[in-house]
Amino acid sequence: MTANAAQPRSNPITARRILVGVLVAAVGLATIHWAWLFFILLLCIGFAALYELNGLCEIKGQPLEYPVAVFGVFAYIVLAMLDRLHTWEGALLAVITIASFAIGMYGEQKGYFARTAYTLLAVLYIGKLLTYFVFIREVPNVGAWWTFYVVILIALTDIFGMVVGTFIGRHQLTKISPKKTVEGSIGAVVIVAAVAAAGSLLPQMHVNWWQGVVLGVVTSVAAQAGDLAESALKRDAGVKDAGSMIQGHGGVLDRFDSYLFGGMAFFAVLHVLGILLVNQ
């Protein structure tokens, strides 16, 4: 998906980028076997992504009510881990909202509205969306398999979007991210749908081939939407990357933006197609 349609194309695929990407993926996939370790990884990703998002907000002139945002992300993931989010989410949102407004009163009055709004957005964007990976992993018997499945689908969306776009991309997908192309986007969806259909043939998945195709298409499209949404945040702040924690990939938010939307979409399709109900 990363090719420049308006200028001569340069190949963004470097040995360092590939190596770092493989190492990050290997660590993430390895933790899925142990649910508690995977949840700790989600917390680490959440805190790092929140730190970078706060940096973008600071560039805009209105940083988050950071302690409130940290508490919100932590509480969302932990309550999901304990299977208590469905009971306490309403109260959690009320606490976060009240705390954001109350603490903001003690800061500079200019930008009060923006700081409060940014804080609520940050908690939902990062904390809430990461909980869908907890929900997927916690499904009895098949949770680990489905988590591995969705992570692979999103990772392949990023990889093949870049590869296809680099070599055959000609038409710009959107001005928000100028190097992404229509060819890269479509190529990623087609390849991921095929991989998802093939993966569904594993008996451990408990998914029909056509359900695998739907899961692949929707997850890939959502992952690309998540990438574009984060690109819009960066363009608004006037920066290229949200951070520099991951060599060759920018920041943690840059690396995992597609997972935030992709995991949510995958879980939604499991519901819509009745796959989740059958396996619970």
pLDDT tens per residue across span 124-137: 999 999 999 999 99
Domain boundaries, the chain: 1-31+142-280, 34-138
With contact defined as beta carbons under 8 Å apart, do 134 and 81 qualify?
A: yes
Q: For the segment 18-60, what is each residue's pLDDT rounded down to a tens digit?
A: 666 677 778 888 999 999 999 999 999 999 999 999 999 998 8
Angstrom CA distances, 111 to 65, 74, 115, stand at 12, 25, 6
What integer pLDDT is reported at residue 49 of this predicted model?
95
User: What does the mean pLDDT of the chain come to?
Assistant: 88
Residue 3 is predicted with a pLDDT of: 41
Q: What percent of the chain has pLDDT over 90?
A: 64
Find residue 246's DSSP bridge partners. 250
Cα 181 to chain centroid, rounded: 20
Flag whether pLDDT at 249 surpasses 70: no
The pLDDT tens digits of the residues spanning 151-198 come to 999 999 988 998 898 888 888 888 888 888 999 999 999 999 999 999
> What's the token pair of residue 182?
């229509």
Q: Give the pLDDT of residue 39.
A: 96
Determine how many CB atoms are found less than 10 A away from the CB of residue 22. 11
pLDDT bin (cut points 50, 70, 90) of residue 8 is very low
The reported pTM is 0.89
